[in-house]
Amino acid sequence: MVDRNDPDVALMLRVKGGDLSAYEELVEKFKQPVMNLIYRLINDLDEAEDIAQNVFVQVWKTRERYEVASKFTTWLFTIARNLGLNEIRRRTRHPADSLDEPRPDNESQPLRVVEDAASPIPA
């Protein structure tokens, strides 16, 4: 059993009660460790920042379900890990098209038609 007097647990219990200043304090205290965890999973700093924000949105949305059964950081990092793994799964299902890859000839055909139409007519 976790001690309810643990500072992190006490902070989360205040958040659970709807205390916005406690929520801001919690975000400030844990945003960097959460972002570090996510970055180690996905290796993309911008995406890690976005997911970290989503972690704290999720914390706020699910605050009423928080139970003092384990360390607060275990609960928080589980949310972060799950959202990071969701991003990995999303990337696997829908890999981004690279902008550096050459376009197939059939995709550049409309551009050639426009260029030909805009060129001067030979005399």
What are the domain boundaries of the chain? 7-95
Compute, in degrees rounded to 10, the torsion defined by CA atoms 109, 110, 112, 118. Answer: 170
pLDDT of res. 107:
56
85-105 pLDDT per residue, tens: 999 998 888 776 545 555 555
Q: Is the domain covering 7-95 a CATH 1.10.620.20 domain?
A: no
Catalogue the E-assigned strands of 29-74.
none
Q: Which residue has the tokens 């007519």?
A: 121
- Cα(15)–Cα(44) distance, rounded to whole angstroms? 29
Q: Which residue has the tokens 């990092």?
A: 77
Residues of the chain with pLDDT under 70: 1, 96-123
pLDDT of res. 59:
97
Q: Which residue has the tokens 């376009």?
A: 103
26 close to 59: Cβ distance less than 8 angstroms: yes
66-76 pLDDT per residue, tens: 999 888 999 99
56 close to 50: Cβ distance less than 8 angstroms: no
pLDDT of res. 39:
96
CB-count burial class (<10 Å; 0-12, 13-18, 19+) for 101: exposed
